[in-house]
Structure formats: structure tokens, C-alpha cells
Structure 1
Amino acid sequence: MKKIKQVTAMTLAAVLILSSFSFSQKSLAADEEGIIQSVTTDKAMYDPSEKAELSINLTNLNGGDLKKGIVEIRAKHLEKQVGSTIKRKFTLKEGKSKTLTINWKAPADDFKGYLIEVNVKDEADIVIDSDTVGVDVSSSWTKFPRYGYVWNFTEDVDVERRIEKLKNYHINALQYYDWKYRHHKPVADNLDVWDDWSGRPIYGDSVRSYIAEAQKANMVNMSYNMAYAAVSGYENDGVKQDWALYYSDDNPRGEGHFNFKMSDETPTGITHLYFFDMSNKGWQNYIFAETNKVFDAFEFDGWHSDTVGEWGEMKNSKGETLFVKDTYTEFLNAAKTAIGDNYLVFNPVGAQGIEKVNISDVDVLYTEMWPWDRDINGELYDSYNSLKTEIERSREESGGKSLVIPAYMSYDYGESNPGSPFNTSAVLLTGASVYAAGGSRMELGDDGNMLSNEYFPAQNLYMTDNLEKRIAKQYDFIVAYQNLLRDGQTETENAIEVVDYENNENGDPNTIWTYGKKDDNYEIIQMINLLGVSQNDWRANYGEKEKPNKICDFKVKYYYSDEVNSVWLASPDEKDGRSQALSFTKGSDESGDYIVIDVPSLEYWNMIYMSGDEPQSTDDEQDSRLNVTKLMNHFAAKRDLRKPLVKQLSNTLRQADHHLKKGSDDKAVNFLEKALDQLNRKSNNRAVTNEAREALNKAIDLVIYDWSNTNTCEDPDDQEEIPAPSGELINGGFEKGTQGWTFSGTAGHGVDNYDAYEGYKYWIWGAEEYTATVSQTVKGLENGTYTVSAMLKQNTGIPIESKMEVSGYGGDPVDKAIPHSQSYEKISVLAEVTNGELTISFKQQGPGDTNLQIDNVEIVKEQ
């Protein structure tokens, strides 16, 4: 049942169970018993004062006709309502669907984000369903870029569907990946159909259709090719060898003309890129002229120019040495001048030389991240915090631009396990790390796919239905709150303490990652939950990432800079991104003035923002209070109810109203239930009692609905479990990362292919004294004798204890010591299984600087 109002007198426990079951997943899971199926807009972004067309798709599966339904629409900018509430009446028969189209006029302010809240009410004025959608009102995409891609330019491609999907994620610019004829000659002689470098047929009408559909949705279209590369045959197209780049004599990475292999063979015979000196005026004039031919032939809006990164010292045809990254600023400034009003985006791969791009005239910052590259201070780009650090540094160096990061998730896992799903936690945590810092992701493209590889047509992994819904809410969120995320905010050093939980500002594993920001109007706390997450690697290369441990009803102590009179929480994980007011207390100590904030929950990412403005109650809260006020007046007017009962009911309802105003909805429900019980036990007038009972039940419904759509500590079922096959060891060679294996202890650990016995290995290492256990329980075994074996290598440091153990098989645990050795040793243990299962464990206690490597774990039943 979706409608709680059909339930009358219930115990509080039963009410809570039902409300949690019916509503807590509305924002994250497809709810076929809901009324609202989706809320979308007709464009990805809007000009100031432009009309936005909202499409509200409804399906009635609630067990009866909806004869006098009402849709209410409220626009919020952060915590404040903008304009008046829009109301539309509708009818909807049981089992039928319809789409309501409602127009909302955007305010005149430029570069603002809004959250459109949609409530559906029944004829009794009770909210029965709700949803939200983000709206970006911006005259240009460059301040708040949300970059996507397209790559399928076949003759029969469904362009309209693909653009529709990306529009619904609010993607406001598209990179046309490998649409061109050749990198050095993007426009083919035949504009109807041509082959790209790899031999894929590209249809001109498909390119033009993409551009036209994207323009309707107010998306920008960016032509893609290399900034300084040509393919074989370039001599025939006017490219001069005198412009070429060569490996320097001291460069160990190659010799001769600097080149990059793309493929072993292709139908076109093109396998390599050949690179040219970006500082050479001849090359600049050539490639800029070829780029302008693109704008003459197609209605592209800009140039996305690519590189293959920094490869060390090079030389030109005169023998003069240079580093490619040192040529970026001058080249890009010249390029921007050459292409005029068209947009310019440039990719310094691995953020190598990004400091040269940040000070150039590019319109949007963009860099493809790889975890082995290092920043200007020598720090690896391998952690969540490393992404944040570069986003912040680039913002400062560029004067406020928001960095777009293509960070390909679970790269190796995707290549070795094509057709598998993305890990939900891995994707959401990387997204939160980028967005909270003020950056943006390049991840969504053709037909709603997500990237896991730098070659965009390689669709190795897919998003589950749940991840798609999560990502949609994340994009709604970054649109609605773009003015708190990347609109002039600067970092603060204000102290933040999460009471009873470990937190720090570095994004360390098993902590809550917290840091503060500030602008002219708000102070902001970003909170990303890494509790229970053992690694802070953003890439999750092997497809593994633990889900954070959700926490509830905790306190945050914050030392503020300016006066605080209201505190708000917004999260893509709760209430469909709505802002909710938080209660807090003030205090002072030797460190300064602080507030202690009551936080209802943290799943993945919370944003707490506060201001000096006095709090304004939301319309939802006013609805709840108004309903209770009406009830009190209702009972007072009923002269045929006994006066002691009226007084008793009024007192009980005042208590409910008091707790509603404090935000204690659970206590409010208690008092409403108490009022209902008083009415049932002490009223003598059946007609009046029924009327009053109906009014009370409506009040309970409204409060429970509002309550159940706030935060809950019941974890959504969003982590797709991979079932263990009966009687089989999972992932004994670690080719699927840590899948199937459980780790406990204090050591560093993970899976990689360095020094593996075969393929991949599991490694354990600790700089200080540690304990570590890696284990897996195998169930569904036939009883009998089994040999359990593994290839093991322990060659750094001397452990206090190191062993392989087999237990839980119906007998006493058996183990064998793992020897210190410079090579892999095969260790075997026999176990007589009598209960159909066994547990394999690798246990080590190390004094520090001690390792263990595990590979090729096997279970073999003896004949």
C-alpha cells in the first residue's frame, strides 16, 4: 500500500514500519505504486526570464480513481522559495497514465540554480507523492559546465533519444568524440559520409542531427580533435615536416618523430599519431585554419582540443629542446584569437602543465586524470583529496573557473570484465569528491552511458537502474546548489568536529571527510562519508569499493566566522535534494564562538550551509502546522463533544504542534496517536467522532509522509550484491579485484598486477606494526577431503606471524606457516569437510615495513 491514510487506528510501531516501507525509497528506486514517475524539463539550461516547460509524468496505481488531484509546484533557490506556488488540478483513473505540462518562468537573475519541488495531493489535500528537479538559469555554460559526449554517428542512430537522455541529466555541453575525418584535417572532402581514422563510417546528417537536437535543448556542441597531432598521409594535406616534434637525445621514452600508437591495424591503415610543435607558427596557422573550416561546414559552437600528455623533453627540427607543456599558454591564447567567439576547451592529460592552461584564454578548464601522474608539488593524483586539491588550485590560478575532470572509474576492471556493472559506492564517492570541491565530471554520454575508458566508444561497464537514479539525483543537486558549490566560494580553516566520529580534512579512509567554505552570504560544511571505506582511491580500479556506514542523529561542532542564525542541510541522498532546517545551539570556548548542529543522517554526501538570516519555515512545515491548528479549532467548535474531552484533545494537539515546530516529527506522531486514542475512548457522539477521527487521521498521514521523506537510517538497497556460486571459490586469482574476499585489520591492502604470480595479486603491507586477515568462506561444498592451496610471497621484513589457515569445516582449524622467501611458494593444507563449507584465511602480524602477497588460491576435492 502506498497510501498511509487508508490505515486508521494503528500502533505507532506499525505506522512507522508502514511509512518507512512505502516512502523511504521514493527518491532512489522505481516505485511502480507511486503517482509521479518522473519530472523533467525541456532544456538543459535556460536564459534568464525564459519559460521552462516542466513535464510531470503520472501513473495511478494506488487502488482507486484520483478524481480531484492537485499538483503543486514550488521553486526554491537554496532555502528560500522564489515566486508563488503553482497549482494545477487533474483527474487520473486507476491504472492510467498522463503527462502534465506546466510552465515556470525563470527569474531574471543570471547564473542561478533552482530546485523545483513537485507535490501531488489527493482530494483530501493530503500529499501522496513528491519529487524534485534541478533548473539551471544561466546565459552561458562556461560558469557551471556539465560536460557530456556523443560518439555514435552511424546512419540510423536515434539522435532524439540520446539527446533527450543527456538533457534530463542537465548536460549543457557535448564533446563530439572522433566525429572528424582526420586529426589534422577534421573536415572531409565529402560532407555526406566519411571514415574516421579507425575506419568507422561517419554520416554527416547524423552529426547535423545531433547538433540540431542539442541546440533545441540549449546544449553547446564542441568539435573534437588533437591540438598538435596528425595521422599518416599528413604530408599530402599541407603539414610540413619542419613543424615536427622529436624526442630529445636525453629522452629515454623514444627516438625520432614523437608518435603515439593507437592501434595495431585499421581498415584505413592508420595506426599512429605524429606530433608537431605547438609553438611553431606554421603549425598554429595550419591547425587554426583547419579548425575554422569546421565552423564553416557545421554549426559547432567550439573546439575541444586534446593531447596525449607530457612525455618529457622534446626538440624541434632545429634541435632546440622544449617541454610540450611549456607551449600551452601561448598556443591556447593564439587559438582563442583565431576561432573568435567560438568556445575553446583543452585537455592537458594527467593535469601535466595544467598551470599553463589555467592562466590561458580557454573558456572551460578540463583535464583527464590518471592516478600515477603527479601535481606540481610531486603528489600523486590517486586519492579523493588529490582531486579536490587540483580543483581548488585550478580555481585560484584561473580566477574562478570550475575544472571538469574525466576520471575513468574502474578502468582495469572494465577491460577485464566487460559487461559488468559499475560499483555504486565508487561512482558516488568520486562524484561527491569532485562536486563538493567545486569541480565537475565528464562521465555521461551516448544513450546515457558512463565512461570507464579514455576511448569513448569502449562501453565496458554499465550503470544499474539504481545507479542511474542516484546519478540523476546527483545532477539535480549540483544544478540546484551550484551557487553554493562553485560560485566564488573559498576554503576556510574553521575547525569542524563530528562528535563521536573521527573526521579530518584530508579524506582519509574510515573517517568523515569534512572541510569548510565561505562566500559573502553563507558558511558551508562539506561532509563526505568514508566510514567503513578502507581505501581512498577514487579510481576503484578493480571494481571494488565498500559502501560507507550510514550514521544517524549525530552532532557537528563548528567554529563560525560570522553570526549564524539559521542552519540548513542539503544532500543528493535524502529528501530528493530538498533543504531542511537543522536545530543548533551556540557556545564559546577558548577557541572561539561555535555552534553545535543536530544532523539527522549522513549516507554519502551532506552539505550544511548557514547564514545570519533568521530561519523561514518551509511551506511543508506550514502545511503540517496549519493542519494541526485546523484540528484544534475543529474540536473547540464541536459543542456536542464533552468539554473535558475537547480540552484534553486541544492540549494533546498543542503538544503535537510544539514538536512539529521543533522538527520532532516522531514525537508529534505520538501525540496525534494519543489524541486519536482519547477520541475513540471518550466520545459519545458517533457522527462527530467519525468526522473528527477522519480529520485526525489526515493530520497523522501528512506528518508521517513529511517525516518518512526526511532522513532515515535504513540503508537503501543500492549496492548490487554478486551472489556467491554454491560450492565455488570466488575470484581465487584476484582478477576481479577484492571481490569475494573480506579484509580485517590495520594494514594497507589491495589488488594490483605488480609482481603478481599470474595476472593480479592481493597485497598486504604496513609501515608500522599491524595485523591483517584476508578471508573467504566457501559454502555448498560436498563433504569430503579438500586441498586448499595458494601461491604466497613474503619477502619484505620478517613478520611476527604469517600463516594460511583453514577453519569452519567441521574440525579443528589447520594452518601452515608462510615462509620468508624472495619468490612465490605454494602452500597447501588438507581439510576433511563434514558440514559443507570451509573458511580460508591468510593471517599476518607484522612489525612494520612487512609485506605479504597472495595469488592463485585454489580448492580441489580429493578423489
Structure 2
Amino acid sequence: MNRLKQTVAAVMAGVMILSQPSFLSGSVLANETKPLIENVTTDKAMYNPGDHVEIRIDLENKTRNDFTGTVEINATHLEQQVGSTIEQSFSLANNEEDRIIVNWEAPSTDFKGYLIEVDIKDSSNNLIDSDTVGVDVSSSWTKFPRYGYVWDFTEDVDAAQRIEKLKDYHINALQYYDWKYRHHKPIPDDNREFWLDWTGREIHADSIRRYISEAQNNNMVNMAYNMAYAAVSGYEDDGVKQDWALYYSDNNLSGEGHFKFKMMDETPTGITHLYFFDMSNPEWQEYIFAEINNMFDSFEFDGWHSDTVGEWGEMQTADGRTLYVKDTYTEFLNNAKEAIGDKYLVFNPVGAQGIENVNISKVDVLYTEMWPWDRDRDGELYDSYYSLKKAIERAREESGGKSLVIPAYMSYDYGEANPGSPFNASAVLLTGASVYAAGGSRIELGDNGNMLSNEYFPAQHLYMTEELEQRMTKQYDFIVAYQNLLRDGQTETNNRIEVIDFENTPYGDPNTVWTYGKKDGDYEIIQMINLLGVSKNDWRANEGQKDTPEKITNFDLKYYYSDEINSVWLASPDKDGGRSEQLSFTKSRDEYGKYISITVPSLEYWNLIYMSSDDPIATSKAELNQLVERFIESGDLNGPLVKQLTNSFKQAEHHLEKGSIQQAIKFLEDYVSHLSRKSNERNVSQEAKQPLMEIIEALISYLKAEEEELTIPAEIFNGGFERGDLRGWDITGSNVGVDHNDVYNGNYKAYFWSNRPYEQKIEQDLSRMENGSYTVTAMVKQNTGTPTLSRMELTGFGGEAVYIDIPHGNEYVKISGTVEVTNGQINIAFYQTAEGSVNLQIDDVVIVKN
């Protein structure tokens, strides 16, 4: 009932928001022409808690008139405003350009993302132009990595300009690609200021230092790139011993002799091959770690980006020991991290081969170069949107929450065959959405604002169109602003999602809406990626082609929720600058469980819908009164009318406190009737009263829906497991599932099984029940092995727990337990512990009110 009272207060606060002149006059811009704002950026890529954030608003007056107005700055964290509105007046002559700088103090909380909303209003308070920019307040780049790259180290390179472009994408770490002298010796012995890399490209030490300095000024991390275990010709003269080498084993058909990789047929330096060495060899480790630390002594790099060429099968050391390179990753990386101290470590297990060994190592950031012909541990190709998501989710789980960075080179063959062509925007945006929605990140943007299409970073084959650049800017603003919903402890759920009138699946299939759910401690989340009209789900778009998704509008969505939901928000990089939009919803229940119905305004590429148990504005009575007083003093609408409205709300609140929703509804209905009868009350027109009447009517509908849902019939969702899965049940332990063997009734039953010691449990919460006596029954069969403990548990109903032991036997038996529900809820669980080779079968779980 307290939540209903909060809703009344929230609606009253909403009245005040809706009553502002900018809303009533229609503040949404009807076209894409930007009459004033050219760009909104910040002075750094990332900020420490409490830093001063410099918001830069570049203006050009295209209104065809001289302009005088106000710029308003509002910061939001997800759906909540942070701090007060910042206002600054300005004037701009027709066609004049200017930059307004507004300072905002970052909050003291670490690892948070914000959206800065910039509105320009004229002297009559009408909204004329608007834009947004993301702000990342994080003390380290490792939690929310946004990796970029640089590769041009010629003498006259404009490092400042290139860093500035990447800063505007909020890139917070840079990979310095092929900056080094040699892979096995990054710094020349004579510490010269100029050298040629292996391809003959000019490398100037001063250019590297200028990049590093500019990046540090913009709060970016600098990562030095080279191979973890490779050397080039002449390595023995530099102290690398042949005894450390890796050789193809007799069982390896991919080559013979020294394990090597051909880079080019010929180069100006004569260097054409990489030669590989045993990463588990202590002497190789000692050698390469010393070279890396010498690199840190020579340049102010912040970390080491260590590369490989992937897994090539069984290898052999000089003394005849066989190994797979991927099996050496964990030990090598842990030793490397210890050797480089407080410097960051990133490592690339190419093709995600051996990524499981990197995930459990001490690397600071996960990174893997994806190729569509490689396979994951389940034997599935890394060729689809879903395969990227799967890799990101698995890496997060195995690493304890780290966000995987993926180099996924778009339209590779097309770029090599058609240099100078543009990227396909749909291909880029869909791959980005697939990675970011799953909680990962990409390395794709480099110096001078270029985008990768090739693993050799200087090969700039394709370019971004102006439209794609603008969309990428908004996509990066979005992943910053909503980083706490994308990759901050979220776990995937199996909650049912239905897109009405359109096919949707959780697997990213072509010609569907790709939907899946996530959850954290505060929100339930729906990720929605549009593949309607997209005929292929290949992320690479190797031939440079990708269908543009068919944009859909005003479509209905059903979401079967876990926890109570009281507010729903939508945000997208494709609309409104990424601002969160609150959505209305209704609640209901069917054979699949409790759900909410939402009308989604639009879906172009990617929508993020997030839901909370909190009311949108949990306003206390004192805060409500203050809002009302300020509203009346502002002179908007009419003071007496607002007082009358407030009195009506207070009467409704009074009845809610007494537990009478019906009386609250009656008072509000009487007030609407009163307003509709009075065509002109206290000089207030019917037109002015109409928005208020609509708000109250919406509140009445809400209260009626709540009244209907105060109690619902007690029913176990998926109690017969006829869904073919365990949806509706929470699972503890592994080796719990559903199959169609030896069922009691229908087509499916649930089972526990393991040949090792285990503790397994499935459970389901029922709520909003009418209090009273209930009996829970189930058909069970435990006929293999002897468990330590096997039982049904009934708890959480307001009384002492009821335990029903499950007997051992060769036939299904019916077990039952009766409880007295006093708090409208119950937890039903099946639990078993065993030393191994023990089963349990469960079917037809039913609850009946006595």
C-alpha cells in the first residue's frame, strides 16, 4: 500500500513537470536540422571522482536571426537527475560561431556513467536545440575499457589532433601498434631516437612521446604492443637462444621445423617471418620481461599489450617436450604481471583459442581477436552475432566480471579488394550493438578517427561516412552513459520475452528481433537488437554488404518479470541522444507467469529497456508539499486549481493509508467528474484543465489495476515442466535439467543427477496469494543411489518451515505438505545432497487452496 501512496505523490510531481511551458508547447525537435549546436564534447576521455568536467558546446547560429537565450545543463545517471540544473545566458549574431564552456563537478562515487543533456532555450523559454554527451567517472580504465589505437609515428604527425578525435569517442586506452624496433627487442640497444620497424616504416621516438603526453593530458592509458613469444631474424645476435624455440611436433601437419609465421614476401628490412619461442621456458620469460621493463624505462607507457598468432596445434620444445601454446598462457601471464609490477597487462589469445586460460589469469583487461573460422569449446563457430555474445558472457563468468574487448575486423576481404570504399553502416552498428549489449567492448577506432578492417592496423582500407561517424559518436556516448547497466555485474536471465506481431528469439537469428534479459541488484533489463529484414547474422559482413534493419514503431512487448516492477525506462543510441524515456505499462498474468505489457515507441538498431522496483519519483509528503508550493508560486496554470488538485490527492492518500483503494479511486473519479462539469472554473479554461484530467484518469486506471492484482490465484509456473526447461524455477548447483525420459505425466520431467558429490536445488516463489491453508503436492522418484538428504521444502509463508522427505523407491510416489499462509507468499523447493551417482525425478508440482 505504501507504494500506491508513493505513486500518488509521483503523479503530482509529474503534473508539475508536464505543466512547464516547454513541454506544453511541444519541445521535441521535429527535424534533424541543428539550428545552434554543432557539437558537444568534454575535455577528457574519462574522469576521476570529484574532478571538474569541462563541457564544451560548439555553436553556430543558423536560425537566420540574432539569438539571445540560455543553455541549460542537466546531468543524469540512468533515469535520475544528478545535482541541479546549470544555466548560462548567451547571445549569438546570425551565422556567428562560438564555444560555450560549462564546468560540472563529477560526483564522488567511482565507476559511474552519466549523460549530460544540453538544452538551448530562447528568451521565451522555448526549446530551440538540444544535444547530449556521455561522461565516465572512473578511477581506472580496466572496469569499462574503451580501447583505441595509434600507429603513425612519423616525424611530423599531429599527435594532438589524433588524440583529440579519440578523446571525443571517450577512448580511455590506446594500443601503440608496431611502434617498436623489433618484437623481441622493443628498444634498440643504442637508444636511438629514430628507427625503422620490420616493414621499413619510420618510427620517431619523439612522436611516441608526444602521443603519450597528449593521451595522459586527456586521461587515456598508453599500452605498448609487441608479441609475447616471437622474435624476428637476427634474434640470436640479441641474446635469444635457439634452445628456447618452439618446433612443430611430429603430429602437427601445419608445418615442420621452427614454428614460424610469414608476414610478408619481402620487406625493405629483409624481415619477413616471426619465429616463436616457448612461453613456459623460464629463460625466455626472463629475457622478454627484461626487455619490456627496459621499454618502460625508456618511455612512459602505462602497460604492455602482449600478442600471439593463436593456437596452431601440438608443438615441441628443443628438449623434446610436447605442449599446446594455449596451455602455457596462465603461468606466463601471471609471471608477466609480477615482473612488470604496477603496469597494466593485456593479452591477445587470437581466435579465442585458449581464452579460458587467460580469463583466469592476472591480466587487467581481457582481449581476443575474433575470426569467424575459429570455434569455441562447444565446437561452435565464432561467425555469428550470437557467438560474440556467448564469448563475452563466458569470459565475464570465468574472469569474475571482466569485460572482454573484441577486435572484430569488419568487411575484411571487401576492404582489401576495394580500398577507399566506405564501411557498411548497418554492419558496423549491428556488430557494435551485439558486443556492447552483451557487456563487452570493441577496439575499432584509431588515430585520426579511422576504423579497423584488418589485423594490420596501418592498413586503412575502408572509411566511415559522415553519417556513420555521427552514429558512432552517439553509440560511444551511450555505452558510457549506460555502462552501469551494460557491464557492471549484470547476469543473464531466462525470463520470457514476447514481441507482439514480430518474431523474436534469444539467439540473434536473421529476420527476427533479438531479445534477451539481464538482471542486477537494482534493475531487470531487456536487450533488443533489430534483425528484421537482415538476411544474414554474420557479424563480419565480409563482402561489405549488410541489410539495413526495418525500423518498427509503436509495437507491443510482454516481459515476464522476476521481481516487482514499478517503473520502466527505454534508452537507445538511435534516438533522443540516448536520453531515457519512461514508458507506461500494465501488469497481468497467464499460464507462463506474471508479466508486464509495454508499447515500445520505436526500434531502429538497438534498444535498452530497464525496469526497477522503485517508483519513478518516490516523493515524501514533505517533498510533495514543497513541489506544490513552488509550482503555485511559479504562476503556471492556476494556483486555486492546483490547490484543489492537491487537496484531492491528499484525500486519496488518506484513504490509501487506511487501506481502502476503492475510496481513493472514488475521490479521484469524483474530482474528474467535477472538473468535466465546470466549463470555466475560476477563469481556467477546459483546455488548460485537460492535461490534469488525463493524468488523474491514468492514475485511476493504475489504482484499479493494482486493486485487481492485490491477490492472484496461487499457481505454480511450469509445475509440470512442460515448457521443456526450468523456466520459472531458480536453480542452485549444476546437473539439474529437464528431459522426456521416464516422465510421470505429459512430455517432460525435471531431474537431478551427478556422478560426483553435489548439492542441488530448484525453487519457486509465489506471492500476492490470498492468506489461508494450502497443500503442495508433487510426484517424485528417487531410485538410483542413496542421497544424504532428499526433500521438498515449504518456507517463507509466515510460519515454521515444512520439510517432506522424499523416499527411495522404484516408482513415482506422491508427496504433500500443508501450510497456513499468513503473509501472502510461499517458497516451494526441492533439495538433494549426495555423494555421487544419485538421481531424483520430479513431476506435476501443484498447489491447491484448501
TM-score, structure 2 length as denominator? 0.72
SS at match of 1:46: coil
Q: Which amino acid aligns with 1:510?
A: N
> Displacement, 1:65?
1.1
C-alpha displacement at 1:654, in angstroms? Answer: 1.9
Distance 1:584 1:627 in 2: 30
Q: Residue type of the partner of 2:686?
A: N
Q: How does 1:66-465 map to 2 (within 5 A)?
A: 66-67=67-68, 69-188=69-188, 189-465=190-466
What is the alpha-carbon root mean square deviation over aligned residues? 2.4
Question: Conserved in 2, the CA contact under 8 Å of 1:636 and 1:650?
Answer: no
> What does the per-residue CA deviation read over 1:714-758, in whole Å, with 9 as the maximum and x for residues that have no partner?
xxxxxxxxxxxxxxxxxxxxxxxxxxxxxxxxxxxxxxxxxxxxx
* Pair 551,153 (structure 1): closer, same or farther in 2 beyond 3 Å: same
Shift of 1:34: 1.8
Residue 95 of structure 1 deviates from its aligned partner by 1.0
Query: 1:234: how far off?
Result: 0.2
Which residue pairs with 1:564 in the alignment?
565
Asked if 1 retains the 8 angstrom alpha-carbon contact of 2:353 and 2:376, the reply is yes
User: Which amino acid in the other structure matches residue 601 of structure 2?
Assistant: P
Q: CA deviation at 1:615?
A: 1.1
Deviation string, structure 1 residues 42-82 (Cα, Å, up to 9, x no partner): 11000001111111111111021113x11110110000001
Partner of 1:782: none
Asked whether the 8 Å contact 1:175–1:224 carries over to 2, the reply is yes
Q: What's the counterpart of residue 495 of structure 1? A: 496
Shift in CA distance, 24/366, structure 1 to aligned 2, threshold 3 Å: farther
- The aligned amino acid for 1:252 is L
- Does residue 1:651 correspond to 2:683, yes or no? no
1:399 and 1:128, CA in 2 relative to 1: closer, same or farther beyond 3 A?
A: same
Structure 2: runs of 5 or more not aligned: 1-24, 620-626, 643-677, 700-850
Asked if 1 retains the 8 angstrom alpha-carbon contact of 2:531 and 2:549, the reply is yes
State how far apart, in whole Å, the 2-side matches of 1:284 and 1:88 are. 58
User: What stretches of structure 1 of length at least 5 have no aligned partner?
Assistant: 1-17, 638-642, 665-863
Secondary structure in 2 matching 1:549: coil
1:634: Cα distance to partner? Answer: 10
1:597/1:205 CA distance change after superposition, 3 Å: same
SS of the residue corresponding to residue 685 of structure 2 reads helix
Secondary structure in structure 1 of the residue aligned to 2:638: helix
Report if aligned partners of 1:635, 1:650 keep a CA contact under 8 Å in 2: no
* d(CA) in 1 for partners of 2:150, 2:356: 28
- 1:324/1:406 Cα in 2 relative to 1: closer, same or farther (>3 Å)? same
Give secondary structure in 1 for the equivalent of 2:160.
helix
Question: What is the CA distance between 1:89 and its match in structure 2?
Answer: 0.8
Change (3 A) 1:636 1:364: closer
Does the Cα contact within 8 Å between 2:679 and 2:685 map onto a contact in 1?
no
Q: Are 2:679 and 2:686, in contact at CA under 8 Å, matched by a contact in 1?
A: no
Offset from partner CA, 1:547-593 (integer Å, 9 cap, x none): 11111111111111111000000100011000000000001223221
Q: Report the counterpart of residue 832 of structure 2 in structure 1.
A: none
Per-residue deviation, 1:649? 6.5
Whether 1:633 and 2:638 are equivalent positions in the alignment is yes
| Aligned residue identity for 1:138 | S
The aligned amino acid for 2:125 is D
Amino acid at match of 2:469: E
CA contact (8 A) 1:160 1:213 kept: yes
The aligned counterpart of 2:506 is: 505
- For residues 416 and 279 of structure 1, what CA distance do their matches in structure 2 show? 40
Return the alpha-carbon distance in structure 2 between the equivalents of residues 79 and 631 of structure 1: 25
Assess if the C-alpha contact under 8 Å between 2:396 and 2:403 holds in 1.
yes
AA paired with 2:428?
V
Deviation at 1:629, TM superposition (A): 9.4
Alignment check: 8 A CA contact 1:501 1:512 kept: yes
CA distance change for structure 1 residues 270 and 659 in 2, over 3 Å: closer, same or farther? Answer: farther
What residue identity is the alignment partner of 1:430? T
Paired with 2:157 and 2:554, the residues of 1 have a C-alpha distance of 50
Task: Give 1:320 shift.
Answer: 1.2
Is the Cα–Cα contact under 8 Å of residues 632 and 639 in structure 2 kept in the other structure? no
Separation of aligned partners in 2, 1:604 and 1:346: 31
SS, match of residue 375 in structure 2: coil
Distance 1:521 1:151, change over 3 A: same
Alignment correspondent of 1:598: 599
Cα offset, 1:635, TM superposition:
13
Aligned residue pairs: how many? 631
Q: What CA distance in whole angstroms lies between the structure 2 residues aligned with 1:661 and 1:581?
A: 18
Take 2:59 and 2:138, find their aligned partners in 1: how far apart are those partners? 29
CA contact (8 A) 1:313 1:323 kept: yes
C-alpha distance in 2 between matches for 1:210 and 1:425: 32
Corresponding residue for residue 731 of structure 2: none
Q: 1:634 to 1:191 in 2, by over 3 A?
A: farther
Mapped to 1, the partners of 2:489 and 2:349 lie a distance apart of 24
Partner of 2:46: 45
SS in 2 for 1:82: strand
Q: Distance in 1 between matches of 2:86 and 2:529?
A: 35
**Contact 2:632/2:638 (<8 A) preserved:** no
Cα distance, 1:446 vs. partner?
1.1
1:632, distance to aligned residue in structure 2 (A): 3.7
Q: Indicate conservation of the 8 Å contact 1:628/1:653, yes or no.
A: no
1:550 aligns with 2:551: yes
Indicate if the aligned counterparts of 2:404 and 2:441 stay in contact, CA closer than 8 A.
Answer: yes
Q: How many percent identity over aligned positions?
A: 71
Residue in structure 1 matched with residue 802 of structure 2 by the alignment: none
2:118 is matched by which residue type in structure 1?
A: V
Distance 1:336 1:523 in 2: 37
The TM-score with structure 1 as length reference comes to 0.71
> Is 1:531 aligned to residue 532 of structure 2?
yes
Q: 1:322 to 1:661 in 2, by over 3 A?
A: farther
Equivalent residue number for residue 481 of structure 1: 482
